[in-house]
Amino acid sequence: MPAQSFRMGDANGDENRGDGETPVHEVRLERFSIDATSVTNDDFAGFTDATGYRTEAEVWGFSAVFHLAVAAPMQDLLGTPPDTPWWRGVKGADWRHPGGRNSGIHDLGDHPVVHVSWNDAAAYCAWAGRSLPTEAQWEAASRGGLDGARFPWGDDPHADLTVAAPTTQTRPGEPWMMNIWQGTFPIDNALEDGFLTTAPVRSFTPNAYGLWQTIGNVWEWCADWWHPGYYRASAFVDPRGPVQGQVRVMRGGSYLCHMSYCNRYRNSARSSNTPDSSMGNGGFRTVETRADDDSLQPGV
């Protein structure tokens, strides 16, 4: 990513109340490198094979699975959150078994790893000599140099990109440009984009910086603690979020986003979760580690 100044935040009036996407404010970043894709199952397997690391979902023995993606016997279902009844707590769900004990990833090596907590992602980064992106780095990278745009390619969710794309691109479900929900959420997915859950990380078309699927597919953990009022006090140069907090920033939306309840599949959209939470639509990508960076380690 080139050194740049950009306007961070929602410039289109799309903000979800309480998410803290405003005020729009100028941010200056030095150049940095960021993964072109989310970390894949194959990538994460390399980490666990080398270290023996067990994710928090594996240690606890359960994780959150979307109800249409459950692949487990009835006795493994642990309950349903009252405010989000499309989720199921599933015993045995983890990154190797994304739907539960009757699922696997043998043919999903190029899909994003899911069921990884912030702590798990930070542990991977420590092993790889990388870091989680700051929220500002993530948004600058996702925007691809397009000031104020809703999406990595512009404002139209169905628009074609004008940038040249590698020959490896896939375009399932044209004219969709991202992996989100189509149909009646959460009971009927029309699959117009080609996917019920995750898509291979190099699906659709990359943005002008060469990044694939920063929006849709899976939520991506960022380094920062989250606070809805942070933008009012954000630093101009290299902002890194509040110095402490209860939840960490997540960016980009996922395959479950739908305008009827969650329009967070946008460049400026923000969400958050506790650092020990894992779910079937959450993953991450990494950036180069800076010499002064001592804040992105597990449990900090």
The reported pLDDT for the residue numbered 54 is: 98
Residue 129: both structure tokens together: 């000599």
Identity (one letter) of the amino acid at 249? V
Per the CB < 8 A criterion, the answer to whether 56 and 117 are in contact is yes
The reported pLDDT for the residue numbered 17 is: 87
Residues 6 or more apart in contact with residue 191 via CB below 8 angstroms: 173, 182, 183
Identity (one letter) of the amino acid at 247? V
The reported pLDDT for the residue numbered 174 is: 52
Residues 6 or more apart in contact with residue 181 via CB below 8 angstroms: 189, 255, 256, 257, 258
Q: Which residue matches tokens 């040249």? A: 164
> d(Cα 140, Cα 194) in Å, to the nearest integer?
28
| Domains within the chain, CATH numbers bracketed | 1-293 (3.90.1580.10)
Per the CB < 8 A criterion, the answer to whether 220 and 38 are in contact is yes
In order along the chain (300 residues), what is the average pLDDT of each group of 10 residues?
97 93 98 98 98 98 98 96 94 98 98 98 98 98 96 83 38 71 94 95 96 98 98 96 97 94 93 98 93 48
Residue 4: both structure tokens together: 């740049």
Identity (one letter) of the amino acid at 264? R
Give the CA angle between residues 142, 267, 45 to the nearest 5°. Answer: 55
Q: How many CB atoms lie within 10 A of CB 76?
A: 20
Identity (one letter) of the amino acid at 55? T
SS percent in the chain: helix, strand, coil, step 5: 15, 20, 65
Residue 237, strand partner residues: 28
pTM of the model: 0.92
The reported pLDDT for the residue numbered 108 is: 98
